[in-house]
A and B are shown apart, each in its own frame.
Chain A
């Protein structure tokens, strides 16, 4: 799964730590997601989408091999 978390973060002018703080996770989680090393749980994906006020599908995308 891919995501455009980094882009959304830039639009809202948030650091990794800032975003992590807002949704109550560790900075490492945000970093791992941006590097595509970690697929977040549905709960976390929904929280991020809610914060950016966008549907989940516009932040997280399936890849061909998923």
Chain B
């Protein structure tokens, strides 16, 4: 059967490694509120209007600013790793596995937004900022968990 948008199975291991490293790094940064000068680099900012998170005074479009990129690296690792894990072929990829994947995606999107609706109603102020941060990753996370759960169950 033709299956679109899927990478070959050999990339799956690489995806898992990147995904798990990203998750560990992300959780560590979140829990420890990690800060250091390590990985402080100059980056290109498409738009900089930053009063809350740093003392950047350089406002405007396309500015070169200084930023610690550890959290960016962790986020990219989770997202890229997660995409690879979720969208590489299984060892034996067939129509049923493809259907499981699609069903898991539908389930993950619905579940994610139900959680978000509850969070919007009952979580306020800066705590809601954490909800937004988690919500960048939860659709992928729920999808991967659901897909692997269904696959192991059947």
Q: Shortest Cβ distance from B7 into chain A, in angstroms? A: 18
Cα A20 to Cα B94 in complex, Å, equals 10
Contact B97 A26 (CB under 8 A): yes
Interface band, chain A: 10 to 19
Query: How many residues belonging to B are interface residues under a CB distance threshold of 8 Å?
Result: 12
Chain B residues whose CB sits within 8 angstroms of the CB of A37 once the complex forms: 154
Chain B residues whose CB sits within 8 angstroms of the CB of A32 once the complex forms: 96, 154
Q: Shortest Cβ distance from A41 into chain B, in angstroms? A: 5
- Provide the main secondary structure of the chain A interface: helix
Contact B97 A29 (CB under 8 A): yes
Cβ 8 A contact of A43, one of B1, B90, B97: B1
Contact A28 B95 (CB under 8 A): no
B92 beta carbon closer than 8 Å to chain A: yes
A7 beta carbon closer than 8 Å to chain B: no
Contact B1 A29 (CB under 8 A): no
Contact A28 B154 (CB under 8 A): yes
Q: Shortest Cβ distance from B151 into chain A, in angstroms? A: 6
Residue-wise interface mask of A (27-58) relative to B, using a CB-CB cutoff of 8 A (1 in contact, 0 not): 11101110001101101100000000000000
Binding site for B on A (CB under 8 A): 20, 24-29, 31-33, 37-38, 40-41, 43-44
